[in-house]
Amino acid sequence: MQAAPAPGGSTRDSIVAPNSKAALTKRIAQGQVTWPAVLTVLVGRSAFMFVAQGLVAAVYLLRGHPSPWNAAAPWWTVYATLIDAGCLAIMVKYTRIEGIRLRHLIGRTHLRWGRDILLGLACFAAGIVFFGLVAQQVSKLVLGTSTPDLYPGLLGARVLPWWGVAYSLLFWIVWSPTEEMTY
């Protein structure tokens, strides 16, 4: 799809991206995008989360663990790949129906190396300060202790073997783009 160049602009700037509002509106009008498809993708992600944790819990159940669901929780960064595989399969199906490709769900990224990296580091530092200091005080106020007994799936409250930790450091490479395309 290509539109006429904007006054004073180039043809390259006026190409309608497959994920633009205009292109999406056109696909909706043509019936290529439907609410059941959108809801399937959104609800599917949650369903895949339950199924993936359920598979890991089933392994713990077969091994005789007294609380298999809770035992499976710390492994979420490992079984997240199953969640992503399911979501990507659903999205591939529906993007084909729409006449676009999976890569079209992510728009262009204009990274400004200096500014974006500095801004990212500043936000990270602010987050560490906020969650490191304020969260302890809020926890003490709400829960009565600054060091609560954390849910086993939270990053700070779990223990995995070395290979699970190593994989957990890499899972976000697939997780992040999949979430970006889903939501």
CA distance 165 to 77: 9
Single-letter residue type at 74 = P
Average pLDDT over residues 48-65: 96
Q: Read off the pLDDT band of 182 (50, 70, 90).
A: confident
Partners of 2 in beta bridges = 15
CA distance 74 to 53: 10
Q: What is the pLDDT of residue 173?
A: 87
The pLDDT tens digits of the residues spanning 102-144 come to 888 876 667 677 788 889 899 989 988 888 788 788 888 888 8
Check residues 137 and 68 and name the one with the higher pLDDT.
68
Between 28-32, 70-74, 101-105, the lowest mean confidence (pLDDT) is in 101-105
Nearest by Cα to 79 from 183, 145, 160, 182:
160
Nearest by Cα to 164 from 84, 59, 75, 80:
75
Q: Are 52 and 145 in contact (CB under 8 A)?
A: no
Q: Is the pLDDT of residue 157 over 80?
A: no
Which H or E run contains 173? Answer: helix 172-182
Q: What is the pLDDT of residue 2?
A: 44
Average pLDDT over residues 157-178: 84
What's the longest Cα–Cα distance across the chain? 70
Helix (H, G, I), strand (E, B) or coil at 111: coil
Between 7-11, 42-46, 87-91, 125-129, the lowest mean confidence (pLDDT) is in 7-11
